[in-house]
Chains A and B, each alone.
Chain A
């Protein structure tokens, strides 16, 4: 029996040590997903907490057929979506024209020097609706049809949001790479 199977079995039996071990092993990986889907750290923390509770609750339904990490990631993303569906009116979606333009011109081809934490910072600066659609389409690989039912928007809105998200991201990426190059040269 593989180690993860043993841990899952222990969790199902109510073994606290195994439950904590499962959390310690995967919390960092899933917290990065939570940050990617949330606008602030507090919300990311809530998603992680609720997501893990659901993981433990539904552990008995995991059939050991696919990737366990993938299964946990889907639950975490779904938890983030539930929060979004409930609260998305709390966050006013800024009009595209109102978003501050980056200082530097975008450099579409040269993304060198950008690290994962830079990308995370950029993606979290997106307006919530755009961030959701971009994450679901570009990172998770869902289609616009699937996204429309997940986020309760039309397919057209999903496409439009994705386009706007990409537009903003390209500008921001350009700004970051430009600034980094400037710092290196100095």
Chain B
């Protein structure tokens, strides 16, 4: 028999070697759109990545240039200047208006300080005049006078020519605050928030595969939720970087799979039944020895215990349910960029970024009169998946430090949970996160 077998093997191996059959027309028409989708997706992702890099570089450049400007143009003195043009009154024939001279700043403390850039400019002039002559005379609130002509000319740019010097009176507006107590309001750069959301979970089947379309039709999303703690750091008035740790529970119901209990007594006698059900999220493998699975019209259960081998009804197994529940839990580590569109009592933010999702729990169950009945788990799941997030956040400020947040967020998983069907099945979720944020 072995030799005969080898002969028949050789006959078919050699006979079918290099054999070609022209495929029916139209097959290419089904292939090309699927490739285009893939190419387009890659292009979109590349464009998005380039845009993200350009935005980041642009933003950092903007921040850096602002910091440079801040160092040169916003010293403590200039910030304390009351008005850019200080009006003075002098007893000369022609009243002059003092144009603020560059690098000559007038402090609220009513003391004229030397030019920080060229500190010797005034001190040299002071040395030339007689030291005991008072340079400044205080005449009362809001008025002081310069009694040295050359200094007055130097500082106020008064043309020389008059021999007699009358006191130059500079009037300035009275101070409405105590300069000693001037402290900038501290900016709350850090914030921590506790957020939670019910989540709608589904998937996009962008392939032209009949199998995955058929599988998708028999799957319904289960109630899903997500929640966790978020940290944010405000890097500028508008931008914040946000991260944190979230726990997400997702799931789907697989219809047309009948489950029965009480199979344990038969299970051991005929070898492993190896119940398997292919879903869009992976292959369900029954590990509970007490469960028997059979499919309805779809005949999706793969097992050696086919209906012609074992009939659960004849064996008086207890029917449990006609569907399975796939549950997946993920720990999510988001890295998000938040842009503040409106900065008022109700703030509006645009939030976008990526999230790394680590699979931590994976079960398949069914229910019997409200009681959860374990079946097994889903195999072939990617342990780590990457998702992109886009959301619009509303922030109601209760106080300076506390706010209520509402963030409708759309999340698209860049890589599928599983590659069982080998097609483009990408999950997505939509959730409305709500919670409380504390700023510090």
Contacts and interface: CB of A to CB of B under 8 A. Distances in A.
- Is B truly associated with A? yes
Interface of A: 14, 16, 19-20, 23, 27-29, 31-32, 35-36, 41, 45-46, 48-50, 52-54, 56-57, 79, 82-83, 85-90, 92, 108, 111, 114-117, 119-120, 123, 134, 137-139, 152-154, 157, 162-163, 166, 169-170, 173
Interface string B411-440: 000000000111100000000000000000
Nearest first, the 7 A-B pairs at minimum CB distance are: A138-B9, A28-B20, A31-B23, A116-B19, A119-B15, A89-B299, A14-B39
Contacts of B12: 119, 123, 134, 138-139, 169
Interface residues of B, number: 49
B276 interface: yes
Interface in B327-384: none
Contact of A153 (B35, B208, B304): B304
Interface in B1-27: 1, 4-5, 7-9, 11-13, 15-16, 18-24, 27
Interface of B: 1, 4-5, 7-9, 11-13, 15-16, 18-24, 27-28, 30-32, 34-35, 38-39, 207-211, 271, 274, 276, 278, 295, 299-304, 306, 308, 420-423
Given A28-B21, A86-B300, A50 B306 contact: no
28 contacts: A20-B32, A27-B28, A29-B20, A31-B23, A45-B23, A45-B24, A45-B27, A50-B423, A52-B31, A53-B208, A56-B31, A79-B422, A82-B420, A82-B422, A83-B211, A85-B276, A86-B302, A89-B306, A111-B11, A115-B15, A123-B16, A137-B9, A138-B12, A139-B16, A152-B276, A163-B1, A163-B5, A170-B8
A58 B238 CA distance: 42
A120 B16 CA distance: 7
B21 A19 contact: no
A4 B1 CA distance: 43
A170 B4 CA distance: 8
Contact of A49 (B7, B208, B276, B304): B208
Given A89-B306, A163-B5, A54 B16 contact: no
Interface centre among B209, B274, B303 (most CB of A within 10 A): B209
A89 B301 CA distance: 7
Contact of B11 (A46, A90, A114, A163): A114
B276 A23 contact: no
A60 to B, nearest CB: 10
A26 to B, nearest CB: 9
Given A50-B422, A86-B300, A27 B27 contact: yes
A2 B301 CA distance: 46
A24 to B, nearest CB: 8
A157 B303 CA distance: 13
Given A20-B32, A86-B278, A166 B16 contact: no
Contacts of B23: 27-28, 31, 45, 48
A87 B28 CA distance: 24
B23 to A, nearest CB: 4
Contacts of B22: 27-28, 31
Contacts of A16: 32
A116 B15 contact: yes
Contact of A23 (B4, B31, B303): B31
A18 B23 CA distance: 19
Given A32-B16, A119-B15, A57 B38 contact: yes
Contacts of B30: 49
Given A28-B23, A79-B422, A120-B16, A20 B28 contact: yes
B4 A166 contact: yes
A82 B21 contact: no
Contacts of A153: 304
Given A111-B11, A138-B13, A32 B302 contact: no
Given A45-B23, A89-B306, A53 B8 contact: no
Contacts of B1: 163, 166
Contacts of B21: 28, 31-32, 35, 120
Contacts of B31: 23, 49, 52-53, 56
Nearest to B5: A166
Contacts of B208: 49, 53
A87 B211 CA distance: 9
Contacts of A86: 211, 278, 300, 302
A43 B154 CA distance: 97
Contacts of B32: 16, 19-20
